[in-house]
Structure 1
Amino acid sequence: MNILLQQKAPIHEALQRHKLNRVVPFDVPGHKGGRGNKELTDFLGEKCLKLDVNSMKPLDNLTHPVSVIKEAEEIAADAFGAKAALFIVNGTTASVQGMVMSVCKAGDKIIMPRNVHRSAINALVVCGAVPVYVNPGVNKNLGIPLGMSVIEVEKAIKENPEAKAILVNNPTYYGICSNLREIVRVAHRHNIKVLVDEAHGTHFYFGENMPVSAMAAGADMAAVSMHKTGGSLTQSSFLLCGEGVNPDYVRQIINLTQTTSGSYLLMVSLDIARKNLSLKGKEIFKKTVELAKYARGEINKLGGYYAFAEEIMDGDTTYDFDPTKLSVHTRKVGLAGVEVYDLLRDEYGIQVEFGDISNFLAIVSAGDREFEIERLIASLSEIKRLYGKDDISGMLDHEYINPDVAMIPQKAFYSVKKSLPIQDSIGEICGEFVMCYPPGIPILAPGERITEEVIQYIQYAKEKGSFLTGTEDMNVENINVVLR
């Protein structure tokens, strides 16, 4: 990384010049620096509205960058150790879909774990690629899916040598990392591209003693959700390209779906956040790890809760662990993770990232303060005292259900469908998604056969208060199935 280069922020500098030039706007957006919408300006601030501008020659154009955006992307590529870094303003969803659609066309096979984010399966619906699912490991004590075993990846490649790519979650929502270097080595030996959904791994590039990053492992592409742990604005992301990828072609793919009105607020946040992490990342993530480690220790002292970490590593499906993650198992206090999630928000004014059947996840960053960590710990102690019940560890002991794929996602999604009550749909082929959000990992995806185990899981998740999404029926009582 070139530290002198990293001190620059070209988009930030260009916007500062633009503001000083006091240009009279006869272009969009129509709020004209906020003057046309006083209530919005009062709420967001005049400075913010004045910087919400459209593409113009001095500010470059996201769809075909030739000046300040191009320079900012080159500096970002240096920061991440990538051949190229593309600014994404449609969220990491667009980054993931861009990766998949850059290497796969209709009928091409892509190997992936089934616990991918819905954005990856959405990409299959759009481009017509065929998934080859590698079942992740499962920790039944914690009720979580893990990473991919190298042996399972090798088996999938042997059975599907024509596959174009492997998609790897690294890390998972819970902080679990696969043996990424070895997966890359095995895939490249068979001329298969490796795509990494690194939505929760920005800090791998800038912190010390972190799991290996996708670019350092030799992956071909990576989707990095800068806003999650990197400090940029929500919806801003990077798509990183390695040496074996043509970034100009990838940009063409991204431009099929990304807005032509790129938000300069999102782009400048990426520019400044990258600069901040490049210059201060070691310090930022050192503090983050210390806060997360302290919180885990104190939560584990409460009894019942289990904030897990590196001790669950097994050298295979849990090859490494993200030390910034505060994932907490709750079932030994008699509560589902989503119940603790709801209690923290509704009774204690604490918003954690998500809760599922067995765990909740609190995102810790350098923006947190010690007293907020203490407030979380104290609230969990009181929740245990006031709401704790008998251990429910034996009930529905895992989040992951092996899929029964009966049809490719695109064909199922666009097929003629009928709506059935969910409880009456056993044996049918699903024509849409069902998922808890967050994290947005489908319980059912288009083309999968609906089983009794899946129905039981959906019903249990609803009973515990999980927020279910994905179905056309907004009440998630009916499901669209493929008409036979």
Structure 2
Amino acid sequence: MRLSKALEQIGNEKLVSFHMPGHKNGSIDILKVHSVNLLSYDITEIPGADHLHGAEGCIKETEIAIAEFYNAFISKMLINGSTVGLLSAIMGVTAPGDQILVNRNAHKSIYNAIEMHRLDPVYLFPIVDDRLGIPIDLTLDTVGEAISSHPNVKACVLTYPTYEGLCYDIRAIIALCHENNILVIVDEAHGPHLLLNKTGPKSALELGADLVIQSFHKTMPSVTQTAVLHISKNHILSNDQLDRLNWHLGALQSSSPSYLLMYAMDQMLYCVEKDGIELMQNTLNWLEAFYNKCSSFKHLEVFTFKKGDPTKFVITFKASHNACESWSISDVTNLLRRSYQIQSEYDSERLILMMASIANSESDYIRLYEALKQIDQEIATSCVEIYNEKLKGEHVKDEKCEVCSYDHVYESIKKSQTKVYNASDVIYLKSEDVAVTECVGRIAKEYIIPYPPGIPILVPGERIIEATLALFPVEIKRVKCLLE
């Protein structure tokens, strides 16, 4: 089936979206133009249309409006997503060979910048939740120890909020970095909506970061690939760094930027300028009611993190669910899609991640609750049947290995010191394909990056250990390793 037919088929499902992008299947239709063929807006840099890479007219006016809305010094529209903003920011403020601090659970685009610019990363390992296997905190002590051990660090790259919506005390970390003349870049791809929630976590831009990159399309009513790079009013970049940043933005983005993408960003801004705070308050009210109703489930647990973004929430099994082995997380995910036409953002062996936005309607939450209530009842019925089978001696429990997660990998990496080379050092070294069953102890030549969430399990130049291997996606059978 070709792409056009596949998209048509998916569209006909009329899915309820709890995934990216934030417009939720056009529930807030920022591209709707009455009696106008939208392709007439798909133009190039003709007179009156300005130019993204040297904006002086209408594009500059939109960027000024974005900066005013977010209280930034300068805001740059991005048409290659947050990826190009992160690449440009990191390579713009550093020189090849510089050391930078970076949280280990960073997105692959950050690792790409490190490799492309031949940087020396110093990893900041987050605290990982034992039950869910996801990063939940990055402590000030962790960052302080890294700075003390590496006094020549030039920049710190942080992810905030995390993919799952977790926030931490980034204000204190930013202040500590600035005390040591370390510039702070924040991957806030999942946080452009934070300023709409007046009682929730603050944006890193408000908390003092120098450069903040946000993906409008992830959590705001905009289209895929639309993003922004903010330069703080209190930034500590030199003029040379600002010049290099702008050069990279021009070099790494298309020289023919899409006016439809830029139009989408401008229309999104009109929407949230006018109604954003009210739409967010409605969303928070609906979410609170939804969470309260879900608290009555016997087997499923639905919650948002107390120190996080309330529009991100997790569906998992309650601890008591261990009595019923016949259901897995993927069973719930598949049933939501197949029987209830509800699509999640992603699932793992431990949780389902759902992403809400101001474009979700109250009926979306009602529909999700009713679906989960039915599934919870089905699980309860299954557990009774299995219990009866056990009494008859007919049920044999499947032997399952312990679920491995990032917490095991991070601890093993720290103890084993798996980094042998920087990723940039192995680009031109010879390699060979090695069977997964035989690769432990070898040095990797490639990344292993499950997507979502796009966080590397393995980085080129690292020695492969058992804990890392346990997280490999099942479809990976061979790994490129250095010749030895």
CA distance in 2, matches of 1:174, 1:391: 30
Question: How many corresponding residue pairs?
Answer: 418
Say if 2:146 is the partner of 1:159.
no
CA distance in 2, matches of 1:72, 1:375: 37
Deviation at 1:339, TM superposition (A): 4.2
Alignment of 1:45-124 (within 5 A): 47-124=37-114
Q: SS in structure 2 opposite 1:253?
A: helix
Q: Which residue of 1 aligns with 2:471?
A: 457
Using the size of structure 2 for normalisation, the TM-score is 0.81
Q: Which residue of 1 aligns with 2:476?
A: 476
Q: Pick from 440, 456, 460 the counterpart of residue 442 of structure 1.
A: 456
Q: Pick from 368, 389, 398 the counterpart of residue 376 of structure 1.
A: 368
Q: Which residue of 2 aligns with 1:249?
A: 244
What do residues 343-373 of structure 1 show as CA deviations (whole Å, max 9, x unaligned)?
Answer: 3223432111111221111111222222221
CA distance in 2, matches of 1:66, 1:393: 61
Q: Which residue of 2 aligns with 1:362?
A: 354
Q: 1:365 to 1:349 in 2, by over 3 A?
A: same
Q: Pick from 286, 295, 300 the counterpart of residue 291 of structure 1.
A: 286
CA contact (8 A) 1:134 1:156 kept: yes
Deviation at 1:392, TM superposition (A): 11
Q: 1:454 to 1:268 in 2, by over 3 A?
A: same
Q: 1:303 to 1:331 in 2, by over 3 A?
A: closer
CA contact (8 A) 2:101 2:124 kept: yes
Q: 1:166 to 1:391 in 2, by over 3 A?
A: farther
Q: Which residue of 2 aligns with 1:234?
A: 224
CA distance in 1, matches of 2:148, 2:435: 40
Deviation at 1:124, TM superposition (A): 1.1
Q: SS in structure 2 opposite 1:177?
A: coil
Q: Pick from 430, 433, 447 the counterpart of residue 416 of structure 1.
A: 430
Q: Which residue of 2 aligns with 1:173?
A: 163
For 1:399, the aligned partner's letter is Y
CA contact (8 A) 1:141 1:393 kept: no
Higher deviation after alignment, 224-233 or 332-341: 332-341
CA distance in 2, matches of 1:49, 1:139: 48
CA contact (8 A) 1:145 1:398 kept: no
Q: SS in structure 1 opposite 2:457?
A: strand
Q: 1:98 to 1:370 in 2, by over 3 A?
A: same
Q: SS in structure 2 opposite 1:85?
A: strand
Q: Which residue of 1 aligns with 2:340?
A: 348
CA contact (8 A) 1:221 1:241 kept: yes
Identity %: 30
CA distance in 2, matches of 1:234, 1:147: 28
CA distance in 2, matches of 1:116, 1:337: 25
CA contact (8 A) 1:107 1:130 kept: yes
Q: SS in structure 2 opposite 1:443?
A: coil
The gaps in structure 1 that reach 5 residues or longer are 1-44, 312-319, 463-474
Q: 1:58 to 1:348 in 2, by over 3 A?
A: same
Q: 1:46 to 1:78 in 2, by over 3 A?
A: closer
Q: 1:248 to 1:57 in 2, by over 3 A?
A: farther
Higher deviation after alignment, 373-382 or 251-260: 373-382
CA distance in 1, matches of 2:87, 2:95: 12
Deviation at 1:397, TM superposition (A): 5.7
Using the size of structure 1 for normalisation, the TM-score is 0.81
Alignment of 1:183-202 (within 5 A): 183-202=173-192
Higher relative contact order (CA 8 A, sep 6+): 2
CA distance in 2, matches of 1:238, 1:192: 22
Say if 2:309 is the partner of 1:322.
yes
Q: Which residue of 1 aligns with 2:11?
A: none
Alignment of 1:14-33 (within 5 A): none
Deviation at 1:393, TM superposition (A): 11
Deviation at 1:292, TM superposition (A): 2.5
For 2:431, the aligned partner's letter is K
Deviation at 1:168, TM superposition (A): 1.2
CA distance in 2, matches of 1:268, 1:439: 28
What do residues 399-445 of structure 1 show as CA deviations (whole Å, max 9, x unaligned)?
Answer: 34213222111223443211111221111112112122111111212
Higher deviation after alignment, 375-384 or 275-284: 375-384
